[in-house]
């Protein structure tokens, strides 16, 4: 899905362990186009509903509906163009992990000695770690691997470098994905109805 690979030290005298694996988010023009089409569809709905709502002179209803459609359109555009401005990336080495999320510009670093538990799958990676080794409090680091390329390679590399045996997770079944999509659509429709009736 992305151009990812092993980056080795260029000069002689360096140990092979000093190399690192770098996984970068893929920029898919098809996904960007689909997001732009979705944004255009919502803007079309906003334009279609504007005149009938204007005739009713219900300004609160007009504002709620138009803001809802325009917000979804703007969100679709943002999701479509984000990989070109802030792609997510993951670096794995014998020292630890460096991760920059798709919607969080700051890079997070976790050393392997701080890792308490590691949960791996091809779509999601969950790391429980202790920022302070003298304390028992743990923090989660969630990595949506679905944004990154060569997800199978990520699982392999993390299993190789992790000092603790990783816990392998299975991907959600098809029925679970369908139920999630239905629940999301029901939430969107409920939110729209709530805005119209308010």
Q: Provide the residue range defining the domain that includes 138.
A: 5-27+87-168
Residue pLDDT tens, the chain, 198 long: 444 444 433 334 445 456 788 888 877 788 889 989 989 998 998 888 888 888 888 888 888 888 888 998 999 898 888 888 878 888 888 888 898 887 776 788 889 889 888 888 888 888 899 888 888 888 888 888 877 877 778 888 888 888 888 888 776 666 777 887 788 778 877 777 776 665
Task: Evaluate whether residue 161 is within a structural domain.
Answer: yes
Task: Evaluate whether residue 45 is within a structural domain.
Answer: no
Task: Evaluate whether residue 144 is within a structural domain.
Answer: yes
Task: Evaluate whether residue 91 is within a structural domain.
Answer: yes
DSSP string for 31-72: HHHHHHHHHHHHHHHHHHHHHHHHHHT-HHHHHHHHHHHHHH
Q: How many domains does the chain have?
A: 1
Give the Cα separation of 140 and 102 in Å (integer): 17
Task: Evaluate whether residue 37 is within a structural domain.
Answer: no
User: Tell me: the pLDDT tens digits for 2-23?
Assistant: 444 444 333 344 454 567 888 8
User: Tell me: the pLDDT tens digits for 73-85?
Assistant: 999 898 888 888 8
The predicted model scores a pTM of 0.63
Q: Where residue 138 sits, what CATH number does that domain have?
A: 2.30.29.30
Q: Reduced to 3 states, what is the DSSP secondary structure of residue 197? A: helix
């Amino acid at each position: 899905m992305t151009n990812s690979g092993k980056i080795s030290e260029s000069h002689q005298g360096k140990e092979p362990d000093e190399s690192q694996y770098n996984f970068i988010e893929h920029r898919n023009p098809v996904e960007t186009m689909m997001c732009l089409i979705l944004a255009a569809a919502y803007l079309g709905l906003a334009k279609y509903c504007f005149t009938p709502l204007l005739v009713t002179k219900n300004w609160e209803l007009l504002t709620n509906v138009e803001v809802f459609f325009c917000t979804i359109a703007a969100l679709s555009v943002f999701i479509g163009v984000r990989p070109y401005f802030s792609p997510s990336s993951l670096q794995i080495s014998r020292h630890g992990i460096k991760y920059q999320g798709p919607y969080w510009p700051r890079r997070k670093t976790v050393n392997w000695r701080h890792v308490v538990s590691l949960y791996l799958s091809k779509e999601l990676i969950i790391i429980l770690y202790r920022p302070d080794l003298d304390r028992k409090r743990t923090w989660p680091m969630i990595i949506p691997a679905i944004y990154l390329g060569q997800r199978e390679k990520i699982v392999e590399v993390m299993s190789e470098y992790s000092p603790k045996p990783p816990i392998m997770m299975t991907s959600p079944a098809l029925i679970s994905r369908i139920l999630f999509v239905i629940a999301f659509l029901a939430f969107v429709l409920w939110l729209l109805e709530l805005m119209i009736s308010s």
